[in-house]
Structure 1
């Protein structure tokens, strides 16, 4: 083994003392960590130093580039313009399930490599794996083939995509260093840029059910993401959307798939359709499919064309789009304690309840219960009567009900007056 150009402890000390890291230091420590030369405890110390001291725009862009360089870059050539989407994670966020086939039905190609859920936020792959036969793992050639034939693919990231990020993300999760804008931004963008799409839309969630609890925090992250995309030649837009209350009525895996299919058939909760259409318009703009003759995503959604693409997408990955989805063995109803109007339905509390019922995982290796979750029978702004069911808890494990109910204590607030309507889309930041 040759002599290393830096010592990890010197890089850690520099960031601890709020000094900017050089490009060479960043390139080396990412590569050395991926090779196993830098120990886990040393990278944990550096992650904490970054969490506390931050990184400037140059450092963040360089960290992203170093993580991209740790693996392969996909070359997903397509006759259609390619555009990808990423959500920072929320509760009831089944938007990808509707959005990918919708944007494909409008003429773009959507290569979306997605992840699994952890904690109170759900993962797109976990939702899709509730469909009998559906497969997340695909080779690069199979992804490219499906993209050409169907126009949309949602699959697990290949092992060769940003391995440094995969290793660092797992470390951050157990060392209290997840909530750092430079680390979040470089993690997201290293994977997405390596996937090779020409345009990228980011749905940055804001509120109790999101990682970014406040609008200023979300705006800081959105701007960092857009800057990184621009620096790497990827057309990038970030949409800030509300996550103070669950999106739609279903939170879980199979229950969210069923709701997404309702939206694809022209029904479903209005907020899911509204956000999907806003994001679709931004994605089509990034793909260069705009102007007076461009398809209207709202019209395409209501026409059923996106549902046809959904069926093709599911079948292409071994799934049966017409198969019955898993159903929970136990259903427990939570009733309204008073009559009035639902003033609040806290996204975080509902997400934690769904997680405890089995819909999520505490560790990456944990399995999920596909039938578990929560259905919101009443939502913010809706009138309820005392004793009326307002939440429906689904689980295969009745022993999980007490802890799920504990999570929901105080989650629903019923008042006399109608609450002010909160906008779903808070801001759009374009590169």
Structure 2
């Protein structure tokens, strides 16, 4: 049973392009299903979370991360009485705009796109679902509902100035009310992202042997989780011990968000989704104490994992790939695939051309970017060096 401030699919604000509704799926179910079937969603399986996709079969990719986010979001939304399908749709879509090579690729592409308005993966997600997915006969994009698009655009809160070009362009034709907070469903998706990566980055760092189990057991929250496991299962196998501790850590994060959000909702006493949007603050939150502990854990991960020498070396290598691919295609757009050349021919100026090239590079998977770089740039350099 949903609560009165949950988004009701029967009262959706609709789609930019009106269409006949399904006889057996709600509008938000259709949104979720369209996202799952999108080309950009499939490409996430070969896009970096932290470790480059080919570095190991067990490390998270953007796809497995998105699935984990959706699982957490579904659990929280169900407990709070929110619309589960809308929550899942936003959770599954939230990383569609990520470049190859994770945040490293995004930082490189943002620098390259700076003269043309910059690059932001959240805004790129909206561009993908409203323009770049081109499968339907009557429109570009996925023609998602207003509520799903709103959740994608501002699940991290109101969008401040300057508004990324991709958001501003779409908002001009379909007002997403960027100045307000998003629905409770979108806020749940955002916090579920934090829960998922805080948990799985610890798993992946351990698997990569960038830090030890004993070091984790000294961190806030985790200290209590390991103590609980040791008391219940003395002498437990090394791998099972750390898995049981991280299971408990995961549960602590979920339970904290649910408890704090329920208190916030009792204080606010919202009657409609609009009450959530105009609350003036995020309603779905961690407690201040847990947020403080998570900052310590994030600092540990930053120092020991994100800035580990092996990770830094790989970051430098893949940064060069993006930094060389973008100007190559900007200078020789005829090398873009045939289906991109119509857009190139219609580009009004260099900014429009740069946005097309940025779309193409951002859409690459890790392996495809490396293959393109080898074929178009590294091989050409090798030939030139022999002359």
Q: TM-score, normalised by structure 2?
A: 0.28
The structure richer in strand per residue is 1
